[in-house]
Amino acid sequence: ILNVEQSPQSLHVQEGDSTNFTCSFPSSNFYALHWYRWETAKSPEALFVMTLNGDEKKKGRISATLNTKEGYSYLYIKGSQPEDSATYLCAPAGSNYKLTFGKGTLLTVNP
Amino acid sequence: NAGVTQTPKFRILKIGQSMTLQCTQDMNHNYMYWYRQDPGMGLKLIYYSVGAGITDKGEVPNGYNVSRSTTEDFPLRLELAAPSQTSVYFCASSSRTGLTDTQYFGPGTRLTVL
């Protein structure tokens, strides 16, 4: 079972602000890192899967980077909008087909 | 496209009762998973399956059983419900590679054990 830390636990920003949060995980036995977006009363939806050190992924205003050597990933949101309000989960994967989910960062974007 | 479907959406059980949470996917995915979500905690893996006829324990399997007789279905059974099993249960599936492929989640089942 991997020890996955996400920070901050929660975050309030104003519409238009850019923000970022962190996922830390053990760098050993690393296979992939998943980011999911989870809106209240809905199911988690995949944002990115990253595998290589230095990977960067982008989807619209959301982007992510990966550092496998030091065991962290950053998620960035540029120009936050109220519809970005959600819990953002990271989940590193080891070689045993299992994802270990962090507790998430709850983002609230105020209009 | 239905994706991953779960039934029921809500259920209240008395201590000691049993029930089966149903999960079906129509994406022909080999990998299927059951998670539980407790307040303030991350998703915890209960059981998973890498194909029909093959299941294995996750992080928190005690009190649950699963079966995988077809590619599409992966039911989760609670034999003797306990208050500690009050949670939201999510079923998910992913395609062949499992580790690097996206997991698709169902809408969840909210279970309360009184």
pLDDT digits (tens, 9 = 90+) for A46-90: 999 999 999 999 999 999 999 999 999 999 999 999 999 999 999
The answer for residues whose C-beta is within 8 angstroms of residue A102's C-beta and 6 or more apart is A4, A5, A6, A23, A89, A90, A91, B42
Interface check for A52 against chain B (CB to CB < 8 A): the answer is: no
Sign of the dihedral through C-alpha B44, A80, A109, A25: positive
Burial class (CB in 10 A: 0-12, 13-18, 19+), B90: buried
Q: CB–CB of A99 and B58 under 8 A?
A: no
Q: CB–CB of B43 and A101 under 8 A?
A: yes
Lookup result for tokens 């928190």: B60
Dump pLDDT digits (tens) for A31-56: 899 999 999 889 999 999 999 999 99
Q: Is the pLDDT of residue B23 over 90?
A: yes
Q: How many CB atoms lie within 10 A of CB A31?
A: 17
Preceding amide of B8 cis, omega within 30: yes
Beta carbons of A106 and A19 less than 8 angstroms apart: no
Q: How many CB atoms lie within 10 A of CB A19?
A: 19
Contact list in B for residue A42 (CB cut-off 8 A) is 107
Instruction: Find the residue in A nearest to B91 (Cα).
Output: A43
Closest approach of chain B CAs to the CA of A51, in angstroms?
A: 8
Contact list in B for residue A49 (CB cut-off 8 A) is 100-102
Contact list in A for residue B107 (CB cut-off 8 A) is 42-43
Across the strands, what pairs with B93? B32, B104
What is the pLDDT confidence band of residue A1, given thresholds at 50, 70 and 90?
Answer: low
What is the pLDDT confidence band of residue B100, given thresholds at 50, 70 and 90?
Answer: confident
Q: CB–CB of A104 and B42 under 8 A?
A: yes
A–B interface: beta-carbon pairs under 8 A: 56
- Cα–Cα distance, A107 to A80 (Å, whole number): 10
